[in-house]
Homo-oligomer: A and B are copies of this chain.
């Protein structure tokens, strides 16, 4: 019942003593300060007293603590939520598809601007290989590589990183599902023509075209995903 910010029995002296220590002490790069037991001894106070003082400083936002880690000055690092497994638990295929629809067209747009001849030939190679694929497994590999090559063509490391993150998520979320159709992709699979439009647009430096084609393509994949309930590759 007594969890007000500034508790009743807190010794103001210890708090100021602690503030002085923080101002003077040379902290390591990560801002970690000595363990409570050591710090209490160094300041000549009991651990309980020290913890009260630390509590008020934490309430003020001056420091943050975590079991097993330690006590640190500054702001608690925001829970970054960039861990694949954690993300995979909280999302679902539909949401992932929406994210792809938002991100990948913009990646294609950027790629149209910066793709090198090397990227273009790699794209062509992927397109050929997907057509030649004898199994869905092979098809998926080359399809994934095609999309990743587009991301590489942006020549932007953070963008590529985000693309990889989406891909990793895709694998993690789909994980455990079975592929319904063991046969190989039919020669008139919608993706072939759609990939062609995307690649052509990039070759022609048509940024808007590339973005639009990618959007169309992903919408088509989404439709398949909903209709057949299959883990449709793109």
- A residues sitting closer than 8 Å to B (CB atoms) are 75, 78, 80-82, 84, 87, 90-91, 95-96, 98-99, 102-103, 106-107, 109-110, 141, 144, 148, 156-162, 164-169
Contact = CB atoms under 8 A, between A and B. Distances in A.
Determine chain A's interface SS by DSSP, over half rule: helix
Contacts of A158: 87, 91, 95-96, 99, 165-166, 169
A172 to B, nearest CB: 11
Q: Which of A75, A102, A110 has the most CB of B within 10 A?
A: A102
B80 A159 contact: no
A81 B165 CA distance: 8
Tell me the number of copies of this protein: 2
10 contacts: A80-B164, A80-B167, A80-B168, A82-B164, A87-B157, A95-B157, A96-B158, A102-B110, A102-B156, A161-B165
The 9 closest A-B pairs by CB, nearest first: A99-B158, A91-B157, A82-B165, A80-B164, A87-B161, A162-B162, A82-B164, A81-B164, A90-B157
A159 B99 contact: yes
Given A81-B157, A82-B82, A95-B158, 15 more contacts: A78-B144, A78-B148, A80-B165, A81-B161, A82-B161, A87-B157, A95-B157, A98-B159, A99-B159, A103-B103, A103-B106, A106-B106, A158-B166, A158-B169, A162-B162
A41 to B, nearest CB: 31
